[in-house]
Each structure stands twice: as C-alpha cells, then as structure tokens.
Chain A
C-alpha cells in the first residue's frame, strides 16, 4: 500500500473522474471538441472551393463562386499529375498483387518452418523510420540513375504496399471455412474448381479491400514520390505540394482537395465495411 497522501490524492482524482465520466456532458464536450478539431479543417477547405472572396473575420465566404473549378482542371500541371498518379498507382497495385497474393495464400494455408517469423518479418517495413529508409533507397536509385523515372517511383511506392497486401489477404484466406472446400472436393470438384468457385468468392471482398487500400494509399503517397520522382515525374500530391509552396491561389488546392477526397472517402468507407475494425489494429501487433 502506498503512503496515505497518495491514497488521498488518488481518491480525490478518482472522485472527480467518476463525476466527469458519469455525466453525458463530458461526452458532449468531447464530441464538440473533436468535431471542431477533426471536421473543422475539412469543412473549411470545402468552403474555400466555392469562394471568390473571403474577408477577415467573416466565418463564411463573403462572395461565393464556382468560377475556379474550370480553371483548376484546365491547369496542365494538375491534369498531367492526375494521369501520372492514376497510371503509377495502377502499376504499383497490380505489381503488389502479383507479388503478394500468392504469398498470402502460402502463409494462410501451408506449413513450412519459419512461417510465423517470416510473416511477422513484414512488420519490419514499419520498424524503420520511414523517411530515413527512403533516403537510403534514394541513394541507391541515384547510383542506378532511377531518380526522376517512373520505375523509380513505382519501386519506392511498392515498399509501402507489402504489409497490407500480405496481412489482409492472409487473414482472409485463413478465415475461409475449410469444411466448405472439403465438401466440394468430396463431391468430386477439382482443386482448381474449388479454389475458383468456393474459396475465391469467399475472400473476394477482402481482396478487393486490400487492392483498394493499396491503390488509394499509393495515389496519395507523397514523400517517396517527391524524393524520387522530381523533377521529371510529378504525381498529383507532388503538384499539390507545389501549389502549397507557391501559395498561388488558395482555391486551386481547395478544389483539388475536395475533388480528390470525396471519391477516396467513399472507397475507404467501402473497404472499412469489408474489413472488420480490428484488422487494422492487429496489423500493428495488438
């Protein structure tokens, strides 16, 4: 037992904690504070996208307008950035799937020495401080003349995708009820047919979620693309960095944010629905 002073202090803190936690107004304050801090910035950007003038200290735009939308998408750098981002993200996602999905099947279904250790070793991608790792990769790319090339950007972005593309599908393959496959085999279906008609449909939602998460994650990946791509390859996030640094017109960045964020939000919500909430947390070893 600790000293009496500590006990008194603890019971005092305890009493106030009880008082606070027992009342709904604590939850309401928490809700309002979180709403302001979390939603505030995004709402602010939404308003900026429909603004011509916004004088201080008005809380809402003083002159509303959509005139900047046409200008934004007429900009050559934004258009080229968009095309580059879509292509590179498709290539990275496809490459990642080809590399990782068979491995995920093996991790889920086969027994071999060191299986658990090797599966866990993909957490090593998280163990390095990310940008330091990118610098060491960039040094090699520099020697190989991969700086400023599409293959360079694809390879550095591939690093980010390994963990999710292996862990999510592995969990999905493990989750398939083996009795269903065995039943199909018993009635004479070939293993290939069982895989295509029983296993694959069951894991398809999780695989789709993994592909989506990888595509979205790659599309918005910024630091690797900036470090390795510039100056020849500029993905959309890199174009956005230039818009931020040059402070040209607030609306360009705001419109770009809104136009790009809404589709990604819908896709992410879909992915989240498919994966149980704990999948992401378990990826961090909880």
Chain B
C-alpha cells in the first residue's frame, strides 16, 4: 500500500511507506526522550548519587576516597539495627499474611462462577478504590481502642480481652495487609486464569483427583505468579511509610518512618542516605532472587 498524501508532522506507523523516509528510530527516540530524562534525573540519579555519597568520604588532601565508614557506623548503632530487623520481620509477616489470605480467595474466584464469586471479587478489590490516607484513618477508628471491632467482639461474643493493635507492630501488619490484598488477589487470579480448564479436566480424566490436579498442575504453573506477588509485596511493604508512620509504634519503627525522622527531625540527610541505600540493597537482593528463579524455571522448562 502506498500513501499518496503529503506527509504531515505526525509520526507515521512503521508499515506505511511514504515518499520520504523519516528515520523512524530517530523520531521514536525523540518522543521517548522526555520520560527517560525524568526517570534519569528523578530516580536513577538520586539513587546513584546516594550510593556514591555513602561509599566515599573526603580524605585529608581534599579528594574523595572509598570508605565504608558510614555503613560500619549504621551497623554499630543499636537503634538502627533494631529498626532494620523490625522492618524485615514486619515485612516477612505481612508478605506471609497476604499470601495466606489472598491465595484461598483467588482459588475460590478461579474455580467458582456466579453471583457469590462476583461479590467476593468486588470486596477483595475494594481496597484498591480507597486512597491510602483515608484507609489509614478508617482503620485507626476500626481497630483502635473502643473502636468498632472491639464493640463487635464485646456485643457478639462477650469478649473482653481485646488489645488494640493500633500503635503496636500488629497495627502495621493489619494496615499493610488491608491495602495489599487487592493487588495480591488480582495477580494471583490473573495467574490462575492462565491455567486452562482443559488441562485440569485432562488430569481428572486420567484419574487424578482434584487435590492431585491442584498439587501437580495448578501449583507448578502458579510458581511464577506466586513469586511475582511475594516480591512485589516485599518491595511495597518494605518501602512503605504512611501506614507504619500512622498505625505503628514509635519504637521500634520501620525504616520508612525512621528515615524520615533521621532526615527531617534529626536533620541528618547524609545518615538518612545510608539508611535508604541499605533498603535499596536489601530490595535488590530480593528482586535478584526473583529474577534468578524465573530464569532457572525457564531453563528447566526448555530442557
């Protein structure tokens, strides 16, 4: 097909062959330059600057030399180590809670159809429609002292031993799990929907029961989605600020609130940089584990 009209300034799709060939790759690069620059200046540059800042220090001669003194100092500060360990523990618990809550819901949604399933799906996706700050406020009222949860337990079961998780470590887990359940269910359901019914039917045809079909077919095929959801939840929870800041205890605190306090209240930006880079490194290790397992799975499949 030939285009007879004159070329406007508008970018032309690849399949059209115009009279004059504007090198499309040049135009393409020109159009994507701006967001790449934003990403470079607002994400990559700050991250690498902080890494560079924290592994160097000025020597007596005025030039910079490599030094890990900042990190030695971090790991020699009991409060810092305590907060880091606390963050990792809360993150692990939240990731586990999200998986244990999200997986049964997703399985249910994958294998049931009808009104009840639709309602459950709507409820599971509901937190996606609540902005974080409003969710935090609502949860404080709900789980706080004399909140609705305590009143429910009191009136329905006569339960009196309620201790509010608000301003306690459990409060952070509750808040982050509430916010994270939608994405968890969404990703796991998407993964489950990629497993064709025919495959499971074939398995039952050759005599496998539902449990065997689940264990031998569904689970291995879900490995990738489960890994994605775990990694993503780890990164989100570990890098969170608002929920731990509003629902968590003042001490120990997660890295998010701790970094802000170091930066803003204690006015020590360079120390906050060290803390930030440490969160980068830990997240990078998690991401790497994820990428490696995906790659090794691919290799396994091909051999």
- A residues near B (Cβ < 8 Å) are 10-11, 13-15, 17-18, 21, 24, 26-28, 30-31, 34-42, 44-45, 48, 56-59, 98-100, 102-103, 105-107, 109-113, 115, 118, 121-122, 124-140, 142, 155-156, 158-159, 162, 166, 178, 181-182, 185-186, 188-192, 195, 216, 219-220, 222-223, 226-227, 230, 237, 240-241, 244, 250, 253-254, 257, 260-261, 264-265, 268-269, 272, 277-278, 280-282, 284-286
Contact = CB atoms under 8 A, between A and B. Distances in A.
B276 to A, nearest CB: 4
- Pick from B14, B31, B212, B275 the residue with the most CB of A within 10 Å: B31
Given A27-B112, A226-B260, A286-B191, 9 more contacts: A18-B211, A58-B151, A110-B11, A128-B239, A135-B276, A138-B269, A185-B5, A192-B9, A286-B190
Nearest to A240: B133
B255 A216 contact: no
A18 B11 CA distance: 57
B20 interface: no
Nearest to A36: B152
Interface of B: 1, 3-16, 24-25, 27-29, 31-32, 34-36, 38-39, 42-47, 49-50, 53, 104-105, 107-108, 111-112, 116-117, 119-120, 123-124, 126-143, 146-152, 154-155, 178, 181, 183, 186-187, 189-191, 209-212, 214-215, 225, 228, 232, 235-236, 238-242, 245-246, 255-256, 259-260, 263-264, 269-270, 272-273, 275-277, 279-280, 282-283, 287
B47 A103 contact: no
Contacts of A284: 183, 187, 228, 232
B35 A166 contact: yes
A195 B136 CA distance: 44
A174 B33 CA distance: 20
B123 A35 contact: yes
A162 B42 CA distance: 11
Contacts of B138: 41-42, 44-45, 257
Given A14-B209, A44-B138, A284-B187, A133 B47 contact: yes
A133 B264 contact: no
A282 B138 CA distance: 30
Contact of A191 (B12, B14, B46): B12
Contacts of A158: 38, 42
A64 B116 CA distance: 34
Contacts of A182: 1
B239 A129 contact: yes
Given A220-B131, A286-B225, A278 B255 contact: no
Contact of A31 (B123, B228, B279): B123
Given A128-B47, A222-B132, A57 B269 contact: no
Nearest to A237: B133
B250 to A, nearest CB: 11
Contact of B276 (A36, A133, A230): A133
A136 to B, nearest CB: 4
Given A223-B241, A261-B134, A192 B8 contact: yes
A34 B129 CA distance: 15
Contacts of A226: 260
A31 B119 contact: yes
B263 A227 contact: yes
A208 to B, nearest CB: 17
Given A135-B259, A139-B269, A286-B228, A110 B46 contact: no
A100 B31 CA distance: 9
B130 to A, nearest CB: 7
Closest 3 CB pairs of A and B: A14-B211, A129-B239, A220-B131
A18 B141 contact: no
Contact of B273 (A100, A105, A139): A139
B275 A135 contact: yes
B11 A136 contact: no
Given A27-B116, A129-B283, A131-B241, A57 B14 contact: no
B120 A40 contact: no
Contacts of A37: 178
